[in-house]
Amino acid sequence: MGFMAVAVIFGLYADIEITTLNPWEEITKMAMGAVTPNFFETDYLISAIINTIAFAMLGVSVGNLIGFFLALAFHIRLVRVACAFVRAIHELFWALIFIQIFGLSALTGILALAIPYSGIFAKVYSEILEEADTISLNAIPKGTSHLSVFMYARLPDAWAHFKTYSLYRLECGLRSSAVLGFVGLPTLGFHLETAFAEGNYSEASALLIIFFIIIATIRKWSRTQLVPIYILASLIVIPWNLSDISLVNIIRFFSNDILPHPIRVAQSIDVNVLVDLGIWTKTLFLDQALPGIIATIILTQIALVGSGFLTLIMFPLISPKFFGTFGRSIGHVILVITRSTPEYILALICLLLWGPSMLPAIVALSLHNGAIIGHLIGRFTENMNLRPDRSKGINLYAYDILPRIYRQFLAFLFYRWEVIMRETAILGILGIATLGFYIDSAFADLRYDKAMVLIILTAAMNLGIDVLSRTIRSRLRLQTRINVV
Amino acid sequence: MENALFSLENSTIKINGHTILSEFSLSIEKGEKIALVGQSGAGKSTLLTQLYQLSDSEVALVPQELGLVRNLSVFHNIYMGRLNRYQIYYNILNLIKPLKKELEKVRPIVEKLGLTDKLFTSVQELSGGQQQRTAVGRAIFRNCPVFFGDEPVSAVDEYQAHKVLSAIAEGHETIILSMHDVELALQYSDRVIGLKNGVKVMDQSTRGMKASDLGDLYQ
């Protein structure tokens, strides 16, 4: 209840105006485009799809491998903190940083995915290993080396969980890879942005339809035995653009660009420099960080409650307790589309319709996260045994189903809280005044020092929400199976 | 009793404040074949675990919970009995692709246990009895002179039980098995130790004993 009240109050202050002159005209054009997809712009359509898959494949694989080894060292505090920090920074922010260092080479895209993903993999893998069956350890001969014990007694049982989780992460990786196009890498997002900007909705819908098909069939094509082939193929087809990397750039970035401006221009460190640094910090915080933080928190909270509402509306669509096979297949299509479309692209579409305000972001985040949690809750109701003389319709929903799913629902929702905040910050790049907006502007103005401070602030906020969400979940004794969210 | 392999002197074992074994004294010599009998909860498993922990030499053990790795094949689970004998790289190589040399060593064991056609089946697809035989196979493969089994044939049918117990008897000098099947216990041991509520109530040679002589233990 408290969360809902906060969201309503924030809603009063949020800027949710529709600023476009004629949203209906744009909606009509988009709807026309959606039903008349144009698959014949083959010159870039195929390369965009291939690049999207290749970046996802390489980024997720590298992250997977690094994450696995980090998981083995997860008992070390420094490793845990480092992993929490790298995953608190969104892929797009990593990309913005790496573009300054490695230009638009493939390295930028791969690292932007691999670094935050390795932090996520490390955390989840260490949890899987912790929960793995340890009963077989007693039967191992004394004096066996640690590595042999690990390979024979711990890894085999964890392996199946690793595979399931990797598949889920690959799906996330495809979404992230598509979105990397929006900062200039040659993936789907790059062409989508152009198509949307030029109003070529038929081409945009063709791109999105192919993307949905790839994600919907991921279980069919991602076989373990084929992974080495996919990785090899990705290494070959990916546009490396290594000429974009310049050593001078790299050195300048680390030794100069990211130093706060007053220190960079100072001849020597004296009182004046410190005063300047104080002013620099003060303006940065008052003009950018503070408004950014406030907007990010407002948007996050509204989107969190919005996701909750939409979950409760959407999960019955795929639940056998409410709909027959036909009704559910429509429900599945709706949910697959809303959850496979990256929030960023959903927000972009809404932005075109309603103009820049918080509204597109709220709708996009709520739809996407509502569909993800709705999918999980819907699946959860499949195995629910109800009495034969149960009521129907709304009564069934309110008396039988809702009370049963409620704890699970809250657990998933709080688990997504941090994800929602990370995405909220990112949507700033689209012009909504969250932290991402100020970060993107700082990069655009070549003020890397400010960008770095703001990114670290964003990471700190995500870490804070993560801790808060974990505290609330353990207070309410809510449990999630992490490998499904 | 100088050359006793294992000995307990007035040992009392408590778990969470409950006395499981009280003032227990026992001495076991090399070459003895011992059956531990008694109702469940009498303290057989605790006694066996205690003896296992006291042993300084290597002992082949079949614990009651088997300790198998569910996702690995029968072959790999049996091979695990010798993990400490080989270099790490050899173990890892064998995990990725079963080595011919090791297969040849494991094969006679699975033949005796009737698991030949399941050699490459993962343990989670096996029945309870087959899993139990795999755990016995792992203990046999360790190739130690001393064998401890905690109910090693409880889930195996009678025909298979004889095969399994003969295989155990064949390869080991000293054997301690806890058993709930009294007939089998007498047949494969030369000394029987009866437990009741954590106290040793019987310790004698099995020669000339009948199953009905043990009836008191189960009342």
pLDDT in tens, A5-44: 666 666 666 666 666 556 677 788 888 878 788 877 657 8
Q: Which residue has the tokens 């922010």?
A: A93
Kindly identify which residue of chain B lies nearest to residue A151, measuring between CA atoms: B92
Asked, for residue B209, whether it belongs to a domain, the answer is yes
| 3-state DSSP helix/strand/coil % of chain B, to nearest 5 | 45, 25, 30
Which A positions 123-142 lie with beta carbon below 8 A of chain B? 133, 135-142
Sign of the alpha-carbon torsion through B63, B65, B68, B74: positive
Q: What is the pLDDT of residue A320?
A: 85
Decide if A141 and B65 are in contact by the 8 Å CB cutoff: no
Contact between A90 and A422 (Cβ < 8 Å): yes
Which residues of chain A make contact with B84, given a CB cutoff of 8 A?
140-145, 148
CA distances (Å), A429 to each of A73, A369, A439, B27, B104, in order?
35, 19, 8, 78, 64
Read off the pLDDT of residues A8-17 as tens digits, 9 standing for 90 and up.
Answer: 666 666 666 6
CA distances (Å), B203 to each of A77, A280, B190, B214, in order?
55, 88, 11, 11
Query: Residue A386 above 80 pLDDT?
Result: no
Interface contact A144, partner B, CB < 8 A: yes
Pick from B67, B84, B91: which is nearest to A136 by CB? B67
Q: What is the pLDDT of residue B106?
A: 95
Domain count, chain B: 2
Q: What is the pLDDT of residue A5?
A: 66
Read off the pLDDT of residues A56-85 as tens digits, 9 standing for 90 and up.
Answer: 999 999 999 999 999 999 999 999 999 999
Nearest one of A253, A382, A263, A407 to A323, comparing CA atoms: A382
Sorted by sequence, the CB contacts under 8 Å of residue A330 that are 6+ apart come out as A317
Name B195's bridge partners: B200
CA A91 to chain centre: 8
Which residues of chain B make contact with A161, given a CB cutoff of 8 A?
none
Among B69, B71, B77, B147, the residue to mutate for chain A (most A Cβ within 10 A) = B69
Decide if B72 and A137 are in contact by the 8 Å CB cutoff: no
Interface contact B76, partner A, CB < 8 A: yes
**Six token digits for residue A301:** 């909270």
Q: Which residue has the tokens 């990786």?
A: A173
Decide if A151 and B138 are in contact by the 8 Å CB cutoff: no
CATH for A1-35+261-485 is 1.10.3720.10
Q: What is the phi-psi region of residue A103: left when phi exceeds 0, alpha when psi lies from -120 to 50, beta otherwise? A: left
Distance CA A167, CA A382 (A): 22
Query: Residue A435 above 60 pLDDT?
Result: yes
Asked, for residue B17, whether it belongs to a domain, the answer is no
Query: Residue B218 above 80 pLDDT?
Result: no
Q: What is the pLDDT of residue A66?
A: 97
Interface contact B152, partner A, CB < 8 A: no
Decide if B72 and A152 are in contact by the 8 Å CB cutoff: yes
User: Cα dihedral angle (A482, A74, A461, A302), rounded to 10 degrees?
Assistant: 0
Decide if A156 and B69 are in contact by the 8 Å CB cutoff: yes
For every residue of A49-100, DSSP letters joined together read: HHHHHHHHHHHHHHHHHHHHHHHHTTTSHHHHHHHHHHHHS-HHHHHHHHHH
% of chain B residues with pLDDT over 70: 99
Asked, for residue B98, whether it belongs to a domain, the answer is yes
Read off the pLDDT of residues B133-174 as tens digits, 9 standing for 90 and up.
Answer: 999 999 999 999 999 999 999 999 989 999 999 999 998 999
Q: Which of B95, B111, B142 is the last residue of a domain?
A: B142
**Six token digits for residue A110:** 């791969």
CA A410 to chain centre: 20
Which residues of chain B make contact with A153, given a CB cutoff of 8 A?
69, 80
Q: What is the mean pLDDT of residues A385-395?
A: 75
Q: What is the mean pLDDT of residues A172-179?
A: 95
Distance CA B47, CA B50 (A): 5
Q: What is the pLDDT of residue A13?
A: 62
Give the number of residues written for chain A: 485
Interface contact A225, partner B, CB < 8 A: no
Asked, for residue B19, whether it belongs to a domain, the answer is no
Longest dimension (CA), chain B: 54
Confidence of residue B57 (pLDDT cuts 50, 70, 90): confident
Q: What is the pLDDT of residue B177?
A: 95
Pick from B67, B72, B81: which is nearest to A138 by CB? B67
Q: What is the pLDDT of residue A451?
A: 92
Mean pLDDT computed over every residue of chain A: 87
Single-letter amino acid code for the residue at B26: L
End-to-end, the C-alpha distance of chain B in Å comes to 33
DSSP-derived 3-state class of residue B132:
helix
Decide if B83 and A148 are in contact by the 8 Å CB cutoff: yes
Give the number of residues written for chain B: 219
Kindly identify which residue of chain B lies nearest to residue A134, measuring between CA atoms: B67
Which residues of chain A make contact with B55, given a CB cutoff of 8 A?
none
Kindly identify which residue of chain B lies nearest to residue A136, measuring between CA atoms: B67
Asked, for residue B7, whether it belongs to a domain, the answer is no
Single-letter amino acid code for the residue at A427: L
Confidence of residue A482 (pLDDT cuts 50, 70, 90): very low
CA distances (Å), A370 to each of A92, A357, A437, B103, B143, in order?
22, 21, 24, 53, 59
% of chain B residues with pLDDT over 90: 44
Q: Which of B142, B165, B193 is the last residue of a domain?
A: B142
**Six token digits for residue B196:** 């009741």
Beta strands in chain B (DSSP E): 4-15, 18-29, 33-37, 59-62, 146-150, 174-178, 191-196, 199-205
Higher pLDDT, residue A1 or A267? A267
CATH 1.10.3720.10 location in chain A: 1-35+261-485, 37-257
Query: Residue A168 above 70 pLDDT?
Result: yes
Decide if B70 and A157 are in contact by the 8 Å CB cutoff: yes
Read off the pLDDT of residues A264-291 as tens digits, 9 standing for 90 and up.
Answer: 877 777 788 888 888 888 988 888 899 9
Q: Which residue has the tokens 């790999």?
A: B76
Residues B86 and B131 in one domain: yes
Q: What is the mean pLDDT of residues A118-141?
A: 85
**Structure ipTM over 0.85, yes or no:** no
Sorted by sequence, the CB contacts under 8 Å of residue A124 that are 6+ apart come out as A67, A165, A482, A483
Name B204's bridge partners: B192
Taking domain A37-257, whether its CATH number is 3.40.50.720 is answered by no
Distance CA A124, CA A11 (A): 35
Decide if B88 and A148 are in contact by the 8 Å CB cutoff: yes
A-to-B residue pairs, Cβ atoms closer than 8 angstroms: 73
* Kind of pairing between the strands at B4-15 and B18-29: antiparallel
B173: distance to nearest CA of chain A, Å?
A: 19
Read off the pLDDT of residues A180-220 as tens digits, 9 standing for 90 and up.
Answer: 999 999 999 999 988 888 888 888 889 899 999 998 888 88
Q: Which residue has the tokens 């993990």?
A: B83
Distance CA A292, CA A296 (A): 6
Q: What is the mean pLDDT of residues A126-132?
A: 85
Distance CA A88, CA A69 (A): 19
Asked, for residue B136, whether it belongs to a domain, the answer is yes
Decide if A145 and B70 are in contact by the 8 Å CB cutoff: no
Which residues of chain A make contact with B61, given a CB cutoff of 8 A?
139
Residues B92 and B197 in one domain: no
Q: Which of B96, B120, B142 is the last residue of a domain?
A: B142
For every residue of A161-199, DSSP letters joined together read: HHHHHHHHHHHHHHHHHHHHGGGT-SSHHHHHHHHHHTT
Interface contact A149, partner B, CB < 8 A: yes
Q: What is the pLDDT of residue A485?
A: 35
Asked, for residue B152, whether it belongs to a domain, the answer is yes
Residues B156 and B131 in one domain: no
Decide if B83 and A133 are in contact by the 8 Å CB cutoff: no
Distance CA A48, CA A174 (A): 12
Asked, for residue B6, whether it belongs to a domain, the answer is no
Residues B183 and B86 in one domain: no
Name B37's bridge partners: B194
Domain holding B156: CATH number?
Answer: 3.40.50.300
A165: distance to nearest CA of chain B, Å?
A: 17
Q: What is the pLDDT of residue A16?
A: 62
Query: Residue A137 above 80 pLDDT?
Result: no
CA A361 to chain centre: 14
The residue range of the domain holding B117 is 69-142
**Other CB atoms within 10 A of residue A272 CB:** 12
Higher pLDDT, residue B114 or A475? B114
